[in-house]
Structure 1
Amino acid sequence: MLIHKSEKEFQLIYADSMIIIAQRSADKLIALQAHITKGLVLFNQNKCGAALEEYLMANRLAVQTDDTYYTYQLKFLMGQTKYYLGYYDEAISLLRECVEQYDTEGGKPYLISLHALGLCYQGVGKLDICSALNKMGIQDARETEDYDMIPFFEQSEGINQYFKKNYRNSIMSLEGLNTSLIKKNDIRNETVRNFYLGKNYIALQQYEKAIGYLAKVDTTFNNNVFIRPELREAYEIMIGHYKSKGDYRSELYLMKQLIKVDRYLFTNFRHLSRKIDKEYNTGKLMAARKEANEATETKRLLQILLFTVSVGALILPLTLFYRNRRNKIKKRKKIEKIINSQSAEENEEEMHVLGINLEIVTAILDNLEKFEASKGFLEKGLTQARLAMILGYNTSYVSKVINHYKECKVMEYINDLRINYIISLLQNERKYRSYTHKALADEVGFGSAQQFVKVFEKKTGVGLGEFLVQI
């Protein structure tokens, strides 16, 4: 589509124009296509939450049109986006449907879905299932002569070997991909490859080689503004490396870069802020900055560190088309054997942990996404009971789901969303920096300035006043 060949800054404008035209036409199919297009634009700009909203709107239209092609295209797109957002279990459910559907047609939709499904299993630690799907994908790609897909499965398996601690095997797999990725100009996957090569060499204590690969992550961020949450660790490793060598200039440079990275990730991945695994949290970075500045007699080189996430993801262009139907009953049985071998056990475990029907859990999670997207957390006086009413389920179910999936209590979840939101406002809109503490508290729904200040410091590790000074 021409929209994807236009300048990046105009793509969203064109997509919005398509939606306006579709609304005027009252044609559901045109509207569906317009929302998909906008979703793809947002996804490629790493605005995954907004992209998912567009896909959900398109999906509601697809149900009304009863169009199988778009139904499964949207299942894939929603599954891919949920994987990127770190909702692996939900993504697995959607992508399994796609694999089963496209298995009979074959071609690239089947291979892309199979690959994405393998990544989800990798994300939940089911490494053996991921390896089995990678092996199957490579075999099927060769049989259908779809050789372009093979490097994606090979890279997935190379990363899988890293997680299995087979570091030398991982290096052999990943280093062999260099030429194919460069030929494709696949910046995203080349960057992920460089990151895991660096991690492998760290594990083998070959630090200079590791830093060489990890530095390429920073080069890509500078040149292409591409970063994924899992890649953030490259900066922490490099900061620690240069600090141990007493190279404060490089350390300061990387700390400044890490702040830029975190701003970007916070803006685009704030939904997973509680799951981040960071060595350099806000308080630690401020202390490290002070130490590094004193060592180099440099003042005020850094700004405050924001919050971000650690998940990994793959962005692949999706071209869905149908080929001649072929009989793949044996292959389907093989896939089902690989995947379903643990499905009953997983479902029992989920019910055991929460004691709630899985459909209800999924519905609550979907409603929480909508609640966050609509900024419902800004409502003043919001309580656990009120949130349960908004979501449409009882307080017990809502509390259990938030405790399990958000890894915090209900009010802590609400307050975290509020603090993340006010940090974004303070960072991006200067007028809020002159607000009183009471005005800022009112802006995000806190009952008092005292409560707001207390929660802010607990969340960030620094006082509100100190934060404002550092912006």
Structure 2
Amino acid sequence: MSEKLSLRISCLVWKGSNQFFQRLYTIFISLLFFLFFSMANAETILCPENKNIDQLIDQAISLNSTGKSKEALRLLQKANDIAKSVGCEKGELNATKNIMLIYSEAYDYKKALEISNRAKKLAVSQKDYKTLSTLCNKRAILYENLGIYDESLKEYEAALKYAKLIAETDQRYYQTSLVYYNLAPYYQGQSDKKVLYYLEKSREEVFKISDNSKDVPLEKKVDMLISVNMNLGIHFRDSKNKGRNVKLSEFYFMEALKQFDVVKGEINPDTKIDLYQALQEFYQMKKDYRKAIGYGENMLALEKSNSMPYNRRVGYMVLAKSYLGIGDHSRSQKYLDLFSKLNDSINSAEKQAVEAPVKKMISETKINGEKKIQRIAVISSSVLILITGGMMIHRRRSHKIIHKKYEDLIAKIHHETGISTIESTSEKNNKSNGIKSSITITDETIKVLLLKLEKFEASKKYLRKDLSLTWMANNLSTNPKYLSEVIKIYKNHNFTSYINELRINYIIKKLYENPIYREYKITYLAEECGYITPKVFVNAFKQQTGFTPSYFVEQLKASA
């Protein structure tokens, strides 16, 4: 169970969606490893000389799981003191690890690292290489959360070194596979090659484990193999990955699915939920909406009894998109409503979790210097009043200008045939803007290229996220220089602004014609019209129209 939590860390980090809070949530979950590690050892009497130590640790674990961290800390410290007095290093190690957990949960990462030094010394003294590997892995996470990435990498390397010293062969393979697996997300966003390298290394190690191992049950091996294959599938599916390969992605997802038939016992439901969700997203990306819906509904059915809100949130949004893809607007709206409600609930909980340590810091600051803060507050308030007054005047003027632009746009939509927001690019197909070409292109070539551009616009290939001038030139059987020149002269744009105009016109049409699009988040709208990030989408929309997509949606809703 403990190792499986470590696997869930990587899976959650890779899924995206509210990345900062998911990262925070991920680190919190990973640190809970020690809680379950202690529970896993509950059946072993760590200190035969004094069973009270084990009882105190068990009570502390129970209290901490119900949010009573202060009471748990007192019991753990008592167990630690008794273990020291009777010379029971195993009991002291177990108590120390759990003390470290509590400080980690309280966001006191420096204190947690300080305590982990003692735990590490105890594990070295006992030559407990498995625990040493696990401790180094957790220290790596703490350093990463503090932004000390060089130290984090050193701890991952130490975790790998200790894993290779484990005497039991199969346990050594398993722990080594686990460290390689956890190294992969460390490089996520930095090096696709290293992510792939460590996932493949993890897969190699887990294959070495005997199916009849005494130290690693078959269920445990299979669970690990499913997770590695699943993340290889996610890696090759990732649109930001230069080595993206949809066929390989599907291959690894199918390899993960095959493992369900290897063991007679039930696969860990967390693993099933993660895999079904990854498959749901994969088939939605391929526009195979029926399969996406099937895996999504299976995931939600399992999630009911396992309470994994982050998975549920992603599941709702992907189902909303998939049902929209097959034209079932009522079910799409149902899941969109469920997504919005759950998303608000999660955001509220995350906000409270983040604000708790901040409020504590503010409270301490007030005790140490309340008068100083009051003086600063008075000065700040005076300045703020002046700034606010000026901003209000500016805002009123800006609002009038923005609203006038919105009204002009709506008037143009009503006036023109069809939904055309900005001057349609097709209207300019055969009109030169007077700019002289810097290269020689025959009239016949220009005519052919303009016809191809019309077909390109009609096919909506401008919605591709990986669209580039080179790709488009190859697709239209021409060269980038000719294409760029024709777009400049006959479309009155450079390549980027030409594509932006097509995409923004497309999403404006969707928002105007189909009210369900007005309920989608900006992230979804950006993805729908081909942008990788919401920020780029918002900037492009504002540049084309003079106002943000949020403002456009609000006005459409108000006038509905």
TM-score (norm 2): 0.39
If asked which structure has higher relative contact order (CA below 8 Å, sep 6+), I would say 1
TM-score (norm 1): 0.45
Greater C-alpha Rg:
2
